[in-house]
A and B are shown apart, each in its own frame.
Chain A
Amino acid sequence: MTSGVNEFAIKIATANGTGSGSANSLIMQAIFRMGIPVTGKNLFPSNIQGLPTWYEIRVNKDGYTGRTPTFDFMVALNNATYAKDVAEVKSGGYLLYDSTWPFSEELRRPDVTYIGVPLAEMCNLSFKGVRERILMKNIAYAGALAALLNIDPDIIVELTQEKYSKKQSLLESNRRAIALGFDYVKAHFDCPLPVRLEKMDATKDSILIDGNTAASLGCVFAGATVGAWYPITPSTSLMEGFTNFCRRYRVDTVTKRRKYAILQAEDELSAIGMVIGASWAGARAFTPTSGPGISLMSEFIGLAYYAEVPAVIFDVQRTGPSTGMPTRTQQGDIMMCAYASHGDTKHICLYPADPHEAFEMAVKAFDLAERYQTPVFVLSDLDIGMNDWMIPKLKWDDSYRPDRGKVLSSEELDAATSFFRYLDVDGDGVPYRTVPGVNPKGAYFTRGSGHNQYGAYTEDSDEYQEVLDRIAAKVKGSAKSVTPPAFKRKIGAKTGIVTVGGCHGACVEALDRMAAEGIVHDYMRIRGFPFDDDVREFLEMHETNYVVEQNRDGQLRSLLMLETGVSGHKLESIRYYSGLPLSAQVVISAVKEKQRRAA
């Protein structure tokens, strides 16, 4: 894409733990407030201090959110990564470096403009103490960028005022640092650059939010009262969000007592056990985790499936296998979550594409879990969970009431002639349940061992199979209730692009760019599992479906083949599993290459 006004990408290279985060979000937020669509991606190490970290900002007037792998503007402030950073600058692009120290001639490219700003020198003169000098160096480059890219200075002032309204000294330091960068660049270079910002009006109905925060908000709005967790990147901020929102909304104003319980467990096994116990006792309960956590939880997930206990599990996916790269993104848990645990199991899964859907699907997950009395997974990923996305404002319908499913009240139990926990009274595969402590007629024994439809222990083959078959039918029936796929159809398209979750942004951009060249595809984004008939029908109606996903083994493709029976030769796999968010270019190149080979 041609770079220019409101159409470019910046990358900022710093070292972890130096406080560059606040400068980066300042820049990002300022662009957003100028009314220009923007997305930010934080590429950070699994480390507290010292290792390289990057922040990528994509400004795109059309609102595309996918990552771009090359950059118009590089802020290279970490000499440990200079070579790599120089290489990622587009031809004709710019590189800002700290000219307090010389920049090696070997690293200079003739097609890149170098902008030296003596950030350290200026900050050493203007600020006292090592910590403040380091912190303010970051704010100073934000000031320099403001001048070079034409960020509205009033908005920068406004943002710093909001942020430091209660810390006058910090506000003062920030202002000085911004001015240092801004004034130096104005005095020494032609400002602004051809890649620059101009005010738009495209963000007023949007917010900037990360998916974990949005999902935690969904948990609060859905009425979840018990959250159990074991800290794990990249899901940690989901429970932090829940904690913050509960402090705001769930503390009784008179008694100061809490209408929630957050349990930090000793491990993920315990966390899911707590969720199952709490759900069994009638609460809406959830746990946020990542792949390694799901591996540990699997035995309990099988219990919840077989004993029919609701549970909501957020899997903010990161790269695997094993510890993998904990701070990089992937969609490597698709198969594991669909069939987690030993024995025959199958689980409801929801796949948000962005924080907006993370919010909505969080709410829906509780409804599904309680309606179907079974575990429900919400599979987002590190990119959705931890990065700031520009999304339409979240909406809430005050007429919403939780679907608590078939839970018999004390009055209903009094009126009933009998109650059997696993009896298919309504013929929909969903039995009635009771919660403890309510009515003696509701008592039953929950067990993961063989049981019959009356809830009694059994080792009788027919009785065992009867229950297992009903559960299968129940979960199959949920296909009508999970979020349906999102479709986009083009007249004349003979091929389809099929994807899931966070690949959406890059795929939509790829579809548009290919369409501009006259290559049209239909589009299906999977949003729920089990699949309903519309998924199979889409796959069948296209000669070739390009299945785009972020894992090595084509897990979505495998799941589609297993569950729809559509033959593998109709499903061409496009996989990207570097740990970085997907870009449109990857999709376009792969589709074109496959079409060229097929031709």
Chain B
Amino acid sequence: MSYIVKPKVHHPSLQKNAIGRTRRDYEGAISTLCAGCGHDSITAALVQAFWELDIEPYKVAKFSGIGCSSKTPAYFLKEAHGFNSVHGRMPAVATGAGAANRDLIMVGVSGDGDSLSIGLGQLCHAVRRNVNLTYVLENNGVYGLTKGQFSASADPGSMSKKGDVNTMAAIDGVLMALTLGATFVARSFSGDKAQLVPILKAAIRHRGFAFIDVISPCVTFNDHEGSTKSYAYTREHQLEVVQADLVLPQAEIAIDYSHGEAMRVQMHDGSVVTLRKVDENYDPTDRDRSYEVIRKHLLAGEVATGLLYISPESVDMMEQNEAVDGPLFNLPFESLCPGAAELEKLQTRFR
């Protein structure tokens, strides 16, 4: 993960958020990805989302596996700990970290190879566990670092740069997450920051596993004609079925809900996600209907985007585990060790 440190030049007129930080404070090192890479736009959206949420960067922990996407945690939130783990195994590391400290705000960045091939099992089980993690799948249908092999999300019939045609079925992360019981499922496009930032904000505030599949074109290996993950193809076929916005608790009063089709979903921290349906038939709190509509669009060659499903009843892993409030890692030792007298008493059982 090569990176170059950014120069620290801050313009005095940069806008500050509620905790007095500028967007610059949410950035990281300079990206070494290819110019025009979709992943860099997603990094920028993450910077924007955390800044808008007024989150102290050090309260965040960033996770990734291996691949182009997995380099990106170095490019945002330099004041946060990051863990670039092994290929396809980021969910396990984040699961453990979340168990040690449930107060961490965890964000994981992965790719389609990392998530849907080598790490498919880990992704599935992190979804099932409802780990409190914002999981961004930067989806470009191709292996970049190894120069252009198809990934498991490549659509059947799509063509590689070299001209090979993919003959295998694609794994659709969104449909898969829905069937596995995910409590927050979204799809977006790296070229649509206006849509992506509110989704990320809602995901970060969601208590549970928030799965976001972001079509993120690979300019070097998968942005040609014949690709179904190119900028041109995605722009043409993207269909927003629901518009999401996140309203923070303190800002709630100022928002006018009177117009349109807005649905309100209350989050654990008191903030509210408003969902404006573009598609009349869509209900983003109905798992089966969501599945049906997304599947229908998929078969029609359309990429349905938006905050596609959200469960207001999400119970995350540590709640399921009935864990104490706050982190486990710094509980006082005296409250963890039963002590000599108790050991003596216990051992009457072993006689």
Footprint of B on A, CB under 8 Å? 32-33, 207-209, 217, 220-223, 225-226, 228, 245, 249-250, 252, 255-263, 265-267, 269-283, 285, 299-300, 303, 393-398, 400-402, 434-440, 442-449, 456-457, 459
Residues on B with beta carbons closer than 8 Å to the beta carbon of A217: 343, 346
A250 touches B96 (CB 8 A): no
B78 touches A281 (CB 8 A): no
CB-based A-B contact count at 8 angstroms: 233
B169 contacts partner chain A, Cβ-Cβ < 8 Å: no
Closest to B101 in A: A281
A223 touches B323 (CB 8 A): no
Scoring B89, B93, B318, B338 by chain A CB atoms within 10 A of each residue's CB, the highest score goes to B93
Residues on B with beta carbons closer than 8 Å to the beta carbon of A255: 324
A435 touches B342 (CB 8 A): no
Closest to A391 in B: B350
Residues on A with beta carbons closer than 8 Å to the beta carbon of B101: 281-283, 435-437
Given contacts A220-B338, A266-B122, contact A258 B321 (CB under 8 A): yes
Closest to A228 in B: B96
A445 touches B351 (CB 8 A): no
Given contacts A259-B331, A446-B84, A449-B84, contact A280 B99 (CB under 8 A): no
| Residue in B1, B57, B96, B330 whose CB lies within 8 Å of A226 | B96
| Residue in A266, A278, A397 whose CB lies within 8 Å of B100 | A278
Q: How far is the CA of A278 from the CA of B104 in the complex (A)?
A: 12
Q: How far is the CA of A33 from the CA of B318 in the complex (A)?
A: 43
A440 touches B97 (CB 8 A): no
A265 touches B340 (CB 8 A): no
A-B complex: 7 closest residue pairs judged by Cβ atoms:
A273-B92, A277-B96, A282-B329, A436-B81, A283-B100, A274-B96, A278-B96
Q: How far is the CA of A279 from the CA of B83 in the complex (A)?
A: 12
Given contacts A220-B338, A256-B322, contact A277 B86 (CB under 8 A): no
Separation in Å of the B316 CB from the closest CB of chain A? 12
B96 touches A275 (CB 8 A): yes
Scoring A282, A401, A434 by chain B CB atoms within 10 A of each residue's CB, the highest score goes to A282
Residues on A with beta carbons closer than 8 Å to the beta carbon of B331: 225, 259
B84 touches A273 (CB 8 A): no
B325 touches A257 (CB 8 A): yes
Q: Other CB < 8 Å A-B pairs besides A259-B331, A270-B125, A448-B84, 11 of them? A: A220-B338, A221-B338, A225-B329, A228-B99, A249-B338, A252-B324, A277-B95, A277-B96, A278-B100, A285-B99, A393-B347
Q: List 21 A-B contacts (CB under 8 A).
A: A33-B351, A208-B350, A217-B346, A256-B322, A265-B92, A267-B121, A270-B95, A273-B122, A275-B96, A278-B329, A299-B86, A303-B85, A397-B340, A402-B333, A436-B60, A440-B79, A442-B58, A443-B79, A445-B82, A446-B83, A456-B3
Residues on A with beta carbons closer than 8 Å to the beta carbon of B103: 437
A396 touches B93 (CB 8 A): no
Separation in Å of the B178 CB from the closest CB of chain A? 19
Q: How far is the CA of A359 from the CA of B282 in the complex (A)?
A: 58
A436 touches B1 (CB 8 A): no
B321 touches A261 (CB 8 A): yes
How many B residues touch A, CB cutoff 8 Å? Answer: 65
| Residue in A274, A300, A435 whose CB lies within 8 Å of B95 | A274
A277 touches B338 (CB 8 A): no
Closest to B103 in A: A437
Closest to B89 in A: A273
Separation in Å of the A219 CB from the closest CB of chain B? 10
Residues on B with beta carbons closer than 8 Å to the beta carbon of A276: 85, 92-93, 96
B100 touches A281 (CB 8 A): yes
B96 touches A259 (CB 8 A): no
| Residue in B84, B97, B317, B327 whose CB lies within 8 Å of A277 | B97
B95 touches A273 (CB 8 A): yes
B109 contacts partner chain A, Cβ-Cβ < 8 Å: no
A278 touches B333 (CB 8 A): no
Residues on A with beta carbons closer than 8 Å to the beta carbon of B330: 282
B343 touches A394 (CB 8 A): yes
A270 touches B81 (CB 8 A): no
Q: How far is the CA of A322 from the CA of B184 in the complex (A)?
A: 40
| Residue in B85, B339, B347 whose CB lies within 8 Å of A448 | B85
Given contacts A256-B322, A274-B92, contact A398 B339 (CB under 8 A): yes
Closest to A394 in B: B343
Separation in Å of the A261 CB from the closest CB of chain B? 4
A257 touches B322 (CB 8 A): yes
Residues on A with beta carbons closer than 8 Å to the beta carbon of B336: 220, 223, 225, 250, 259
Given contacts A270-B122, A434-B81, contact A207 B350 (CB under 8 A): yes
B329 touches A281 (CB 8 A): yes
A446 touches B96 (CB 8 A): no
Separation in Å of the A238 CB from the closest CB of chain B? 16
Residues on B with beta carbons closer than 8 Å to the beta carbon of A438: 58
Q: How far is the CA of A401 from the CA of B339 in the complex (A)?
A: 11
B94 touches A277 (CB 8 A): yes
Q: How far is the CA of A250 from the CA of B73 in the complex (A)?
A: 36
Separation in Å of the B51 CB from the closest CB of chain A? 15
B104 touches A260 (CB 8 A): no
B13 contacts partner chain A, Cβ-Cβ < 8 Å: no
B99 touches A278 (CB 8 A): yes
A281 touches B96 (CB 8 A): yes
A274 touches B99 (CB 8 A): yes
Residues on A with beta carbons closer than 8 Å to the beta carbon of B253: none
B18 contacts partner chain A, Cβ-Cβ < 8 Å: no
Separation in Å of the A437 CB from the closest CB of chain B? 5
Within 8 A of A (CB), among B88-116: 89, 91-101, 103-104
Q: How far is the CA of A521 from the CA of B98 in the complex (A)?
A: 53
Separation in Å of the B68 CB from the closest CB of chain A? 13
B56 contacts partner chain A, Cβ-Cβ < 8 Å: yes
Separation in Å of the A276 CB from the closest CB of chain B? 6
Within 8 A of A (CB), among B121-145: 121-122, 124-125, 129
Q: How far is the CA of A115 from the CA of B267 in the complex (A)?
A: 74
B95 touches A447 (CB 8 A): no
Separation in Å of the B122 CB from the closest CB of chain A? 6
Residues on B with beta carbons closer than 8 Å to the beta carbon of A273: 85-86, 89, 91-93, 95-96, 122
Q: What 1/0 mask marks residues of chain B from 1 to 39 whose CB sits below 8 Å from any chain A CB?
A: 111000000000000000000000000000000000000
Residues on A with beta carbons closer than 8 Å to the beta carbon of B343: 217, 221, 394-396
A436 touches B61 (CB 8 A): yes
Q: How far is the CA of A255 from the CA of B331 in the complex (A)?
A: 15
A281 touches B337 (CB 8 A): no
| Residue in A257, A279, A285, A447 whose CB lies within 8 Å of B84 | A447
Closest to A451 in B: B1
Given contacts A207-B351, A276-B93, A398-B340, contact A437 B61 (CB under 8 A): yes
B268 contacts partner chain A, Cβ-Cβ < 8 Å: no
A281 touches B104 (CB 8 A): yes
Separation in Å of the B206 CB from the closest CB of chain A? 19
B328 contacts partner chain A, Cβ-Cβ < 8 Å: yes
B80 contacts partner chain A, Cβ-Cβ < 8 Å: yes
A226 touches B104 (CB 8 A): no
Q: How far is the CA of A283 from the CA of B81 in the complex (A)?
A: 16
B84 touches A444 (CB 8 A): no
Separation in Å of the A91 CB from the closest CB of chain B? 36
Residues on B with beta carbons closer than 8 Å to the beta carbon of A220: 336-338
Residues on A with beta carbons closer than 8 Å to the beta carbon of B81: 434-437, 442-446
Residues on B with beta carbons closer than 8 Å to the beta carbon of A283: 96, 99-101, 328-329
Q: How far is the CA of A245 from the CA of B56 in the complex (A)?
A: 38
Q: How far is the CA of A444 from the CA of B97 in the complex (A)?
A: 15
A263 touches B95 (CB 8 A): yes
Closest to A285 in B: B96
B347 touches A207 (CB 8 A): yes
